[in-house]
């Protein structure tokens, strides 16, 4: 088992390095750089070539690309994300506040999605091809179909028209005023949570259907076991793994993938920061954000693989 974990752990390194390399190169291919974005647009158009060259040198943009990459990775190895090219302040500082917000929304959406998805998926699988199943499936396909940002717009619209109220637009940290904080963040969490729960419901359903056809379930029925016990102890337990996987992966993506919904609710989270960072050609900040989200995703994948191997020994020796 330990050998498997170690092997799987080491496999994360080339993937992470690959992500770092891809985003690094992608950013360099985007036309323009941070100096141009800062000084060449609008007012400061008349800056001399010399000043621009100096600015670039200050940010290390004049060095060869592989050299820049080396510096960045060397910093990463020391857990140093560097400073934002646009604001000049440390990236950890830039990310900190927004991370708290995005993490909270992602966590709330996860809780909501899980509470909704697992019962719905199980019922749908048990009542396969009845109207209950159809209703659940239509409900979850609708969740996949509705863009969460539109759901957000609809929510705001309803509040406006029926209650003449809008959710607060200014972020209050949870520890300052929990009520104010929840009143603001619960809506985006619900808006993305619906789609999220749809993904999880569908996985629960198909995974349950597969398990319910297994021999050991029939055996349990045959020996006259109480239905609830069969479901909880035998079926659900074995069907949960793929469900936990999609929940974990969606969670990792939610951290940085809230881009559009944040816009609707005027939240200053990681998604908005990401759009800004790309528009400003802030290489260091964009790299850090992508790496953050990608490592969350890769790590969730790793944990899931280890869990699979732990439960099913055949995987370990493959």
Partner 1 sequence: MANAILADAADLVAPKPRGGWVDVVVTFSRRRPLGAIGAVIVVIMIAVALTARLIAPYDPLAIDFGAMLAAPSAAHWLGTDAFGRDVLSRIIYGSETALIVGFTAAFVGASAGVVLGVGSAYFGGKIDLVVQRIMDIFISFPLIILALAMVAILGNNLPNLITAITIPMIPRCALVIRSSALSVREMPYVDAARAAGFSHIRIILRHMLPNVMAPYLIMLTAFLGQAILLEASLSFLGLGVQEPTPAWGLMLSGAAVEFAERAPWMAIFPGIAISLAVFAFNLFGDSLRDALDPKLRSL
Q: Which chain residues interact with partner 1 by CB under 8 A?
A: 14-15, 18-19, 22-23, 26-27, 29-31, 134, 137-138, 141-142, 144-147, 149-150, 153-154, 156-157, 160-161, 202-203, 206-207, 210, 242, 253, 256-257, 259-260, 263-264, 274-275, 278-279, 290, 293-294, 297-298
At closest approach, how far in Å is the CB of 162 from partner 1?
A: 11
At closest approach, how far in Å is the CB of 257 from partner 1?
A: 4
CA distances for 192 relative to 57, 107, 214, 314, angstroms = 42, 11, 34, 37
Residue number, 28 or 63, with CB nearest to partner 1 = 28
Residue number, 14 or 46, with CB nearest to partner 1 = 14
At closest approach, how far in Å is the CB of 170 from partner 1?
A: 18
CA distances for 27 relative to 12, 32, 34, 41, 65, angstroms = 23, 10, 11, 19, 11
Residue number, 135 or 217, with CB nearest to partner 1 = 135
Torsion of CA 262, 264, 267, 269, to 10 degrees: 20
What is the DSSP-derived secondary structure letter of residue 83? B
At closest approach, how far in Å is the CB of 258 from partner 1?
A: 9
CA distances for 142 relative to 157, 202, 247, 251, angstroms = 20, 12, 18, 20
- Listed in sequence order, the residues at least 6 apart from 237 whose beta carbon sits closer than 8 Å to its beta carbon are none
Residue number, 234 or 280, with CB nearest to partner 1 = 280
At closest approach, how far in Å is the CB of 67 from partner 1?
A: 22
Distance CA 118, CA 235 (A): 13
At closest approach, how far in Å is the CB of 271 from partner 1?
A: 8
Residue number, 165 or 226, with CB nearest to partner 1 = 165
Residue number, 36 or 182, with CB nearest to partner 1 = 36
Distance CA 298, CA 115 (A): 25
Pick from 242, 250, 241, 243: nearest CA to 106: 250
Distance CA 200, CA 114 (A): 7
């Amino acid at each position: 088992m330990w050998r498997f974990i170690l092997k799987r752990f080491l496999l994360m390194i080339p993937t992470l390095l690959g992500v770092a390399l891809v985003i690094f190169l992608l950013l360099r291919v985007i036309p323009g750089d941070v100096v141009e974005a800062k000084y060449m647009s609008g007012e400061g158009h008349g800056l001399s070539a010399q000043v621009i060259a100096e600015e670039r040198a200050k940010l290390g943009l004049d060095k060869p690309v592989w050299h820049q990459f080396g510096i960045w990775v060397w910093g990463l190895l020391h857990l140093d994300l560097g400073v934002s090219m646009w604001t000049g302040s440390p990236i950890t500082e830039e990310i900190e506040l927004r991370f708290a917000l995005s993490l909270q929304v992602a966590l709330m959406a996860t809780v909501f999605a899980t509470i909704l998805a697992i019962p719905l998926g199980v019922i749908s699988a048990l009542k396969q091809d009845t109207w209950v199943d159809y209703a659940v499936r239509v409900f979850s396909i609708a969740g996949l179909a509705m863009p969460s940002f539109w759901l957000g717009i609809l929510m705001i619209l309803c509040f406006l028209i029926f209650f003449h109220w809008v959710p607060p637009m200014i972020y209050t940290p949870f520890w300052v005023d929990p009520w104010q904080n929840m009143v603001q963040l619960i809506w985006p969490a619900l808006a993305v949570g619906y789609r999220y729960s749809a993904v999880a419901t569908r996985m629960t359903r198909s995974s349950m259907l597969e398990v319910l056809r297994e021999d050991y379930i029939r055996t349990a029925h045959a020996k006259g076991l109480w239905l609830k016990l069969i479901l909880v102890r035998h079926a659900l337990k074995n069907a949960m793994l793929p469900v936990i996987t999609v929940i974990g992966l969606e969670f990792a993506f939610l951290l940085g993938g809230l881009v559009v919904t944040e816009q609707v609710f005027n939240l200053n989270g990681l998604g908005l920061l990401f759009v800004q960072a790309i528009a400003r050609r802030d290489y260091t900040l964009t790299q850090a954000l992508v790496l953050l989200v990608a490592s969350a995703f890769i790590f969730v994948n790793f944990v899931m693989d280890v869990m699979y191997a732990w439960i099913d020994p055949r995987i370990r020796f493959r």
